[in-house]
Structure 1
Amino acid sequence: MGVLAAGHAGVDFYQGAVPAMIPFLVAERHYGYVAASGLVLAATLLSSIVQPLFGLLADRLRLAWLIPVSMLAAGAGIGLVGPAGSYPLTWLAVALSGLGVAAYHPESARLARAASGGGHVAMSWFSLGGNLGFALAPLLVTPLLAAGGVGASPLLVVPALLGCVLTVAAMRAVGGRGAGGRPRVVAVRDDWAAFTRLALVMAARSIAYIGLSAFVALYAGGGASGAAALFAQFAGGAVGTVLGGALAARWGRVRTLRLAYALAVPAVAGVVLVPGPGVHVFAAAAGLALYVPFSLHVTLGQDYLPGHAGTASGVTLGLAVSAGGAVSPLIGALAEATSLRVALACLVAMPLLAWFLSRPLVEPAVSVPEPKT
């Protein structure tokens, strides 16, 4: 699981790289809020369609080969941002990276589920890898682009190469468990109504988290201060992921995610309302609260749809980014029409909505697929 988590970090690094690159693209290429948020949309637009489709295929076909290929695509897209030059080519490069990230998650989540035996804590460590990739992105992207400009982006392919090597080694070590063949038929019935409600919860959470990450660096002033705010949010998310697994093992998944969303409301509000260094503190708190439920969404979705684990993984992981990416241009347009502070203030309603929608959810019957051979 540790090696799989490291590979996950190599992929999700590119989700964190996009918002980290935005201040440099704004400065060098003079993009406005709408154009900048359009790149966030490019990174996530295909996820809303592609991840569920790949999840559906993962329920029927052997797609182990897709994991390393998608990792390389994620890195290649970000690497091409600098050479792309024009906005349309830059948008397509970022979209390629988003496509790679989208294709990676359904099959890798099922592989991790099988390797972990379905444990909440073990799955939270796999999710932690992705969050560490998020958190490392501004720390690596900011000094690299500060020194070499956007043209230095080809060097950002390195995490994808390293992650690919580690993941292929892990896949061989576990013998492809969970990464091929037809899933066995399970006795527990699929609960599509509960899964649909969970999907709405995840969409609200995505809008809050992705919307905040797209603009928090600019809101904090850009440069080192902006990178620190973005790192604080991503690092808080990493802590929240591990904390979520531990709390779920003690209190249950549904109770834990309700509490997390209740605490996320004042945390997101603090980013907007508390000036100065308080932005960094509340950015970390918001990241923590919004990521406590992250791995719980994945396992809840798989347990609500035990007969379609790949589909559940594709939808849950796709909605984790796609809903927020789709709404980001609207946030950018509102920021240009009013102010960035007003636009970010609207995000406070999202964790409140997630908490409200989660109230009828109950713990599903657990059914863990057997490892494939």
Structure 2
Amino acid sequence: MVEAVEAVRAVSDWQRMRHWALAHMVDDFYQGLVPASIPFFVLERDYSYVAASGLALAATLGSALPQPILGVIADRWRLLWLAPAGLALAGVGAGLAGLAPTYPLVWALLLLSGLGVAAFHPAAGRDARAAADDSAKAMSLFAAGGSVGFFLAPALATPALVSFGVGATALFIPPAVLMGFVLWRHQQRHIRNAVASRRLDGPDRWIPFFLLTAVEVVRSAMYSGINTFIALYWINQLGSARALGGVALAAFLVGGVAGTVVGGRVADRVGMLRTIQIGSAAAIPALVLLRVCPYPELGLAAAVLVGVAVNMPFAVFVKLGQDYLPSRPGTAAGVTLGLAVSAGGLFVPVLGAIADRHGPQAVLTTLCFIPVIAIALAALLPEPAV
């Protein structure tokens, strides 16, 4: 009987969140499309590594920095078109970049794509929370959608780019336009939910929110570091083939999707703060196991476990941030889904310097200690107001 009830609730969660989860998947696909396409710009157009880094910077600047501002705008005005329009712009900008003939135009289009991503997250986070009501499990479906999109980008884009060249990015414009239209129609049919009719009570608590943001930056630094160096570790340290290094990265990303969903379920049972603490603590043995495992095939299981542990708090960050800022759900979503996630990537150059001196194995050794910072910061977080 209990299992039947749980099954009904799971279906109900998906029915409520499917448009938001799918839209988040499509939107974040274009965040993954940029790094997947950059090597082809280098190979086909002889861009330098510095120029290639500039393209990644354009997308990051566009997607990260404006999100808090757009969050404030989303909290002040309804702007039901903001999330669908941002989704469409993300796809059109990234898709046209491969057709652009000059570097400045490519850079500008990727910046516009990033701005589209930035426009989507605050408004979508606000309205998805209204649809999820008070369920962390439902909100985890929305968060997991983004992780799936980022994972699918290289898997779907790389074969197209290999076959047709960098101009094949244009093939991925239609999904953004179509999903933007579908989301807009969904907004019109469910306008009361879309404008976040359920307003949380209580004052905004900025100090806990800033502490939560710091915890997420630490988590994001771990995620970005593993995402960047795990394949290199497999190839250079464990001596595996390049293909197996790619499988290790895929295993970590799949674990991340699973961890996001599991984190929502755990939070509904034991609470959001405890879920953050469990995920942060579990990351330590998982990372140690990944670092000491001498066999690349067996290490794939450790890569999955690391992905689960590191991503377990992800959906909780979004929901808890909105609980700390009950009158500013768009601002909270903009920071937790955008700025804090991107800020973690700023620490990758530091890890890169460690890798240059001591190899990628030193990066993984360093990352084994990073969760301690997250645990210490999480211990300072207060319970959200009921």
Specify if TM > 0.5. Answer: yes
Residue equivalent to 2:384: 364
Q: Cα distance 1:227–1:151, how it changes in 2: closer, same or farther (>3 A)?
A: farther
One-letter identity of the residue aligned with 2:190? V
| Contact 2:187–2:194 (Cα < 8 Å) also in 1 | no
Match of 2:261 among 224, 229, 242: 242
State the secondary structure of the residue aligned to 1:277.
helix
1:1-150 map, 5 Å: 1-25=17-41, 39-84=55-100, 89-150=105-166
Q: Please list the CA deviations of residues 61-92 of structure 1 after superposition, one character each: whole Å capped at 9, or x if unmatched.
A: 12211112111221123223433466655444
Distance 1:289 1:350 in 2: 13
State the secondary structure of the residue aligned to 2:382.
coil
How big is the shift at 1:180? Answer: 7.3
Match of 1:304 among 308, 317, 324: 324
Residue equivalent to 1:253: 272
Q: Cα distance 1:166–1:283, how it changes in 2: closer, same or farther (>3 A)?
A: farther
Query: Which has the larger Rg?
Result: 2
Residue equivalent to 1:325: 345
Distance 1:349 1:29 in 2: 41
How many percent identity over aligned positions?
46
Q: Cα distance 1:74–1:318, how it changes in 2: closer, same or farther (>3 A)?
A: same
How big is the shift at 1:5? Answer: 1.0
Match of 2:193 among 166, 177, 189: 177
Distance 2:357 2:104 in 1: 24
The gaps in structure 1 that reach 5 residues or longer are 367-373
Q: CA RMSD in A?
A: 2.9
How big is the shift at 1:305? Answer: 1.2
| Contact 2:125–2:329 (Cα < 8 Å) also in 1 | no
Distance 1:341 1:86 in 2: 38
Residue equivalent to 1:208: 222
Distance 1:139 1:50 in 2: 28
Q: Please list the CA deviations of residues 76-123 of structure 1 after superposition, one character each: whole Å capped at 9, or x if unmatched.
A: 232234334666554443333222111101110111111121211111
One-letter identity of the residue aligned with 1:205? R
Q: Does 1:262 align with 2:281?
A: yes
Residue equivalent to 1:369: none
Q: Cα distance 1:228–1:146, how it changes in 2: closer, same or farther (>3 A)?
A: farther
Q: Cα distance 1:318–1:262, how it changes in 2: closer, same or farther (>3 A)?
A: same
Q: Cα distance 1:28–1:266, how it changes in 2: closer, same or farther (>3 A)?
A: farther
How big is the shift at 1:158? Answer: 3.4
Residue equivalent to 1:370: none
The gaps in structure 2 that reach 5 residues or longer are 1-16, 236-240
| Contact 1:16–1:138 (Cα < 8 Å) also in 2 | yes
Distance 1:303 1:277 in 2: 42
One-letter identity of the residue aligned with 1:238? V
Q: Please list the CA deviations of residues 134-181 of structure 1 after superposition, one character each: whole Å capped at 9, or x if unmatched.
A: 222222022222323333222122332332133123212212524379
Q: Cα distance 1:33–1:272, how it changes in 2: closer, same or farther (>3 A)?
A: farther
1:285-296 map, 5 Å: 285-296=305-316
One-letter identity of the residue aligned with 2:275? T
| Contact 2:284–2:371 (Cα < 8 Å) also in 1 | yes
One-letter identity of the residue aligned with 2:211? R
Distance 2:227 2:23 in 1: 22
How big is the shift at 1:240? Answer: 0.9
Q: Cα distance 1:162–1:332, how it changes in 2: closer, same or farther (>3 A)?
A: farther
Q: What's the TM-score once normalised by structure 2's chain length?
A: 0.83
Distance 2:109 2:358 in 1: 30
State the secondary structure of the residue aligned to 1:209.
helix
One-letter identity of the residue aligned with 1:282? A
Distance 1:200 1:87 in 2: 35
Q: How many residues align?
A: 364
Residue equivalent to 2:6: none
Residue equivalent to 2:174: 158
Distance 1:220 1:279 in 2: 9
Match of 2:373 among 334, 340, 353: 353
One-letter identity of the residue aligned with 1:292? M
| Contact 1:44–1:326 (Cα < 8 Å) also in 2 | no
Q: What's the TM-score once normalised by structure 1's chain length?
A: 0.86
Q: Does 1:229 align with 2:245?
A: no
Residue equivalent to 1:199: 213
| Contact 1:206–1:323 (Cα < 8 Å) also in 2 | yes
